[in-house]
Amino acid sequence: MRAAWLEIDLAALRHNIALLRQCIGRAQLMAVVKGNAYGHGDHLIAPAALSSGARLLGVATTSEGVRLRTVGITAPIVLLDHTEPSEAEEIIFYQLEPTVFHLASARALAKSALAQGRTALVHVKLDSGLHRQGVAPQAFPAFLAALAQLPNLAIGSVFSHFSCADTDHSCTLVQLSCFQEATAQLPYRRHLANSAATLSWPQSHFDLVRCGLALYGLYPSALIPRIGLRPVLSLRARVIRRITVLPGETVGYGCGFRALERTTILLIPLGYADGIPRQWGLGRARALVRGQRLPVVGRVCMDLLFLAGEGDVGDQVTLIGQQQGDVLSADEAAAAQETINYEVTTQLRRLPYCAKE
């Protein structure tokens, strides 16, 4: 195995789902596993989430849904993003449940469903204020009426998406009111809450909540109530080389690190091809080695990075996760590149997974 890997704590995932189910009462839970389960490995997360009480899976694209079908997932899989009419045949064949907000896509789905002797189960998206995808409120009744005329097509739910449930109270109230007004008299299952709303807006739970971040023990912002979620992902590696540089000597491309004194440098087999941002170099990020926080120094290479501090070949390195009582969180890693915690995890790639029960 490569000397760098992602450790996925499935016990933490199950713990998080249990906490979320306590929060949502009778509402169902959709486990959002798009973006390769936010970098956590959808092939690991999807079956564990379903066995822990999630009723549906949410992905972004048809290819993500097909991949889950090919590894044996039989539960409902909702495609949360736009799909092209040209994808309709594959969507119906793999019994995926697409989001619709354009009649052209809906017609293609109905046609493919008729040809295959199946029913296209679709989820209709309302634009309640995010203005990214969805049918405008004033056009929503006519759109639903048009869908009702299509053969072999059924509506599985109506839904929308918050833009700032973790930060803006007034904006969230406007969206909540819009959704309630547009859907209150409809006979379909309704869902609106993402992770932020699930944790802080119980009036938005309706029939179903869609949780991504919270599944993985990540919080959308510092304003969201802490309920004891546990991080699921750890990023680990092993030291593959140890060198000593003298005062004045440099390390890495562009002479990005110059030693002021005799310094031990540890080489780690991770780089920006693995999703490690170059911003982590130049002392902006830390890693745990032997329980000590060591700075990432020099410029992050495509496949390698450097740490300054004591250690030896074979020592375990933790860049996200816990080691000897200390924790480096995804939030700290995000601060080193001035972004959000789930961009950090989602961008991790090319690494083997190690499931921990």
Catalytic residues: 34, 253
Residue 319: exposure state from Cβ atoms within 10 A (0-12, 13-18, ≥19): buried
Residue 97 CA: distances (Å) to CA of 48, 58, 79, 105, 280: 21, 9, 6, 12, 39
Rounded to 10°, the helix 42-51/10-24 angle is 50
DSSP 223: T
| DSSP H helices in the chain | 10-24, 34-38, 42-51, 62-70, 88-93, 103-116, 140-148, 169-183, 195-200, 330-336, 341-346
Helix (H, G, I), strand (E, B) or coil at 327: strand
User: Residue written as tokens 């995000």?
Assistant: 334
CB atoms within 10 A of CB 103: 13
